[in-house]
Chain A
Amino acid sequence: MKKFLAILSLLALVLQIGCAGDITGVITLKGTPPGERELTPIRDTAECSAMYPGALPKTKFYVVGAGGELADVIVYLKGVPSASTGASAAPVVLDQKGCLYTPQILAVQTGQKVIVKNSDPCVHNVHTKPAANPEVNQVQMSGGADLTFTFDKPEPFLKFQCDVHPWMFAWVSVFDHPYFGVSGADGKFTIKNVPPGKYTLEAAHRKLGVQSAEIEVKAEGAAQNFTFEVK
């Protein structure tokens, strides 16, 4: 009986993936966003400032291309049943390089590993500031072993910060399903292998808020663009 159920489940999964389509789209920004701020506190730390002999890096609240393509927008299906494959999903890497987190916006599933590296010649502390998951604070020496984080509960924009260098932040959105994507520098996003059906698709930007659209995914997939506006 167990074997039969397992085969049935596998068959259903294969059929589902076989019929599943991708959701694609482009995120654009209308209007001129506020100017980014130079991270001047970097000058207060010898080891970090040594990595920036010229201009200092700036905040990355709005990463916008020449044609208004907006990066770092999390696009996801809302209200779908829990279907996390996190434990088996490939780990996501969050690096500390140049006294900055790279990338600064990312998304994972519950149970999926976030590997934090320290590529800097100085010490960092990796401090999560969650709303739903337990708070963790660990030291990571230069060249120290990678740290691994997992999150059991979904929550948007869970903050990672370094208190040694208080300008260092990254935001990790956690979902209990695999149907999400992050827009790249060209504004494009892809959500793969979405079973056919009607869904609510949301796009969330940390500063510009959330937009949503009703979409229908067919075997060949679906397309949906979002346009944020600076008011």
Chain B
Amino acid sequence: MGDRCGKQRSGRSFLYMKQPQRPAPYRPALFWFAVVTSVMTFLLIGLGGLVTSSEAGMSVPDWPTSYGYNMFALPIQYWQGGVVYEHTHRLLASFLGVLVVVLTRWIGGAPSRVPLAVVGGLEIVAGAGIFLFFPHLKPVGHFFEGIGGVVLLAAAVWVRNAPGSPTLVWCGWGAFVLVQLQGLLGGLRVSLVLDWLGVPHGALAQMFLVLTAVTALLASRWWHQSTIFRQATVPRGLRHHVLGVTGLIFVQLLVAATMRHQHAGLAITDFPLAYGKVWPDTSPAAIAKYNAMRDLGTVGGPITAFQVKLHMVHRLMAYAILLGVVMAAVRARKKLGVEDSLTRFAMVWLGILLMQVFLGAETIWQNKAADVATCHVMVGALALLAGTLWYLVATRRAQLSKTG
């Protein structure tokens, strides 16, 4: 095995260990396809945010059919109100599912043919089994039949190209699993009327976006040819700092998803104070008073003390994250210099965070207007993505510097 083999370098990070003996060549078409998949994922997160912000998630009670019709043949007269958002979300998600299957097949190359055929076949058998033995889960059976058919079709296409690097192949398979799990979660949320599934559905969407973006990064020209560039090593402390802040952003997105899926509108209606105080009163009397004075608009539910506290946790975490990103930008400038691309990237990250804080405030000031709240969701996803990519690029540099 070569110098970059995992056996000789055990104990290093997975990115290092998974490097092949001879790196797979850069394939521009594959890279751009991965970029398109990632951009589509980002747009889908935005559309999902619009569905929740518009309280339209349950407007089409059946799945994978829509009002009893094949999803792809819903008559235009039913596309009205919340259905426009929810149904478009379903169609775009289906399209993304196909993109991911193609991406998996492309990255996996010729060797992916058999596993895809096996998975597709198993999914079709599973779908038939659900029809037979679990008739109450018929929608899930339909889902498996549909996705299994697409996977089988992908396996039938004769792709001769060699697979990408093992890490890239694993990313492809990871996206393949996540996109199906994500579709299933979204569908079960609707068909079983389990609104709480919206929280893992929202969280998984963020993870999926990160995975598709990482796939694009690993397939990029920079990743393949970065050995020829001389780039400053990023200190471990700074890398870990960024990783920690990125982890905090992910937790923040989980909190946000939980807040959004309470469907109670704004738990706190003013900013920067909270009901006129630094920390709001959450006694039963105070909550009753808030509910009486809230301008509900089109949102109907009363708020609870838990929701008010969760909102405050979200605000405190936002401040902590902003501080963390400011520190990351300052440290990058100090350690890497003003001209370094990662310093510039850190400044972009800071810009994203500042925009996100502004959008958070604007969401409150605009009484959770659907467009503003959706932008808040999308920029939140960008913040997570920026932190992840920064960390991976920095880690790549560190690995290359060690190998000379």
Contacts and interface: CB of A to CB of B under 8 A. Distances in A.
Interface of A: 34, 37, 39, 41, 44-48, 59, 61, 122-123, 125, 127, 129, 135-139, 141, 159, 161-167, 169, 207-209, 231
A44 B300 contact: no
A34 B295 contact: yes
Interface stretch (B53-61, B101-109, B253-261, B393-401): B53-61
B193 interface: yes
B76 to A, nearest CB: 12
Given A61-B296, A166-B298, 4 more contacts: A129-B263, A138-B61, A139-B67, A166-B55
B241 to A, nearest CB: 42
A195 to B, nearest CB: 33
The CB with the most chain A CB atoms within 10 A, among B54, B78, B86, B300, is that of: B300
B56 A45 contact: no
B52 to A, nearest CB: 11
Nearest to B80: A45
6 contacts: A34-B295, A123-B80, A125-B61, A137-B58, A163-B82, A164-B80
Nearest to A37: B297
B298 A125 contact: no
B59 A163 contact: yes
Q: What's the interface size class on B, roughly? A: 20 to 34
10 closest A-B pairs by CB: A163-B59, A167-B298, A166-B55, A164-B81, A137-B61, A169-B300, A163-B58, A164-B59, A45-B81, A135-B193
B195 interface: yes
Interface in B294-323: 295-301
Nearest to B51: A163
Contact of B81 (A44, A59, A208): A44
B83 to A, nearest CB: 6
B62 interface: yes
Given A139-B67, A163-B55, A207-B292, A46 B80 contact: yes
B59 A125 contact: yes
Interface of B: 54-62, 67-68, 78, 80-83, 86, 190, 193, 195, 263, 288, 291-293, 295-301
Nearest to A61: B296
Contacts of A208: 292
Given A136-B193, A163-B58, A164-B83, A123 B78 contact: yes
Contact of B58 (A47, A61, A125): A125
| Chain B interface main SS type | loop
Contacts of B299: 166
B192 to A, nearest CB: 10
The listed residue with most A CB atoms (<10 A of its CB), out of B190, B293, B298, B301, is: B298
A151 to B, nearest CB: 15
Contacts of B54: 166
A139 B59 CA distance: 8
B304 to A, nearest CB: 11
A161 B83 contact: no
B67 A137 contact: no
Contact of B60 (A61, A125, A159): A125
A165 B81 contact: yes
Contact of B300 (A125, A136, A159, A231): A159
B403 to A, nearest CB: 55
A39 B60 contact: no
B62 A163 contact: no
A125 B81 CA distance: 11
Contacts of A169: 300
A206 B74 CA distance: 38
A163 B80 CA distance: 11
A37 B295 contact: yes
A166 B193 contact: no
A129 B196 CA distance: 13
A141 B291 CA distance: 34
B331 to A, nearest CB: 45
Contacts of B292: 207-209, 231
Given A123-B67, A165-B82, A129 B301 contact: yes
Contacts of B291: 207
Nearest to A138: B61
B193 A161 contact: no
Nearest to B190: A137
A172 to B, nearest CB: 13
Contacts of A34: 293, 295
